[in-house]
């Protein structure tokens, strides 16, 4: 990830490009339309650098490695989630810890019963070990 910081003038310049939907000091958010178009052009054989240059983006400003990295990420998202992955704000929604571990109360009860059984067996094992040491 780039450690590039944009000043206010550079942010304004970047926001003038229709292919950029948001921009702050450190982050550029590209429009969904541009992402889809870029993925399609990449599949047709254009290089990532050519795609970004045709879109009017200054590679000296955004970084020379940015096109390659973004196209790699967008292609990966497109392969796994399709068009919807590129059109919505999907950041932070790719995997991670599930919101709820158990869907129903029955699943939770089953898990807790198994945990109790495991802990009882573990306790019994430790008691047996302690008895063997004393003998």
Q: What is the pLDDT of residues 29-82, one digit of tens each?
A: 999 999 999 999 999 999 999 999 999 998 999 988 899 999 999 999 888 888
- 68 found inside a domain: yes
CA–CA gap between residue 68 and residue 52 (Å, rounded): 10
Q: Tell me the pLDDT of the chain averaged across its residues.
A: 87
Q: Which residues pair with residue 20 across a beta bridge? A: 30
Q: Are residues 72 and 116 in the same domain?
A: no
> Which sign, positive or negative, has the C-alpha torsion 34, 59, 24, 76?
positive
Under the banding of pLDDT at 50, 70 and 90, the label for residue 1 is: very low
> What pTM value is reported for the model?
0.63
Q: Is residue 3 part of a domain?
A: no
Give me the domain span that covers residue 130.
97-135
Number of domains in the chain: 2
**Is 49 a member of any domain?**
yes
Question: What does the alpha-carbon distance between residue 66 and residue 76 come to, in Å, rounded to a whole number?
Answer: 15
- The separation between the first and the last C-alpha atoms of the chain, rounded to the nearest angstrom, is 62
């Amino acid at each position: 990830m780039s450690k590039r910081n944009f000043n206010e003038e550079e942010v304004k310049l970047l926001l003038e490009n229709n292919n950029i939907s948001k921009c702050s000091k450190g982050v550029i958010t590209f429009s969904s339309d541009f992402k889809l178009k870029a993925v399609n052009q990449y599949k047709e054989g254009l290089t990532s650098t050519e795609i970004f240059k045709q879109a009017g983006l200054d590679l000296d400003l955004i970084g020379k490695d940015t096109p390659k990295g973004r196209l790699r990420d967008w292609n990966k998202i497109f392969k796994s989630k399709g068009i919807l992955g590129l059109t919505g704000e999907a950041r932070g929604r790719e995997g991670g810890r599930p919101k709820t571990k158990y869907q129903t109360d029955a699943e939770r009860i089953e898990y807790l019963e198994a945990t109790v059984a495991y802990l009882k067996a573990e306790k019994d094992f430790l008691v047996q070990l302690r008895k063997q040491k004393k003998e």
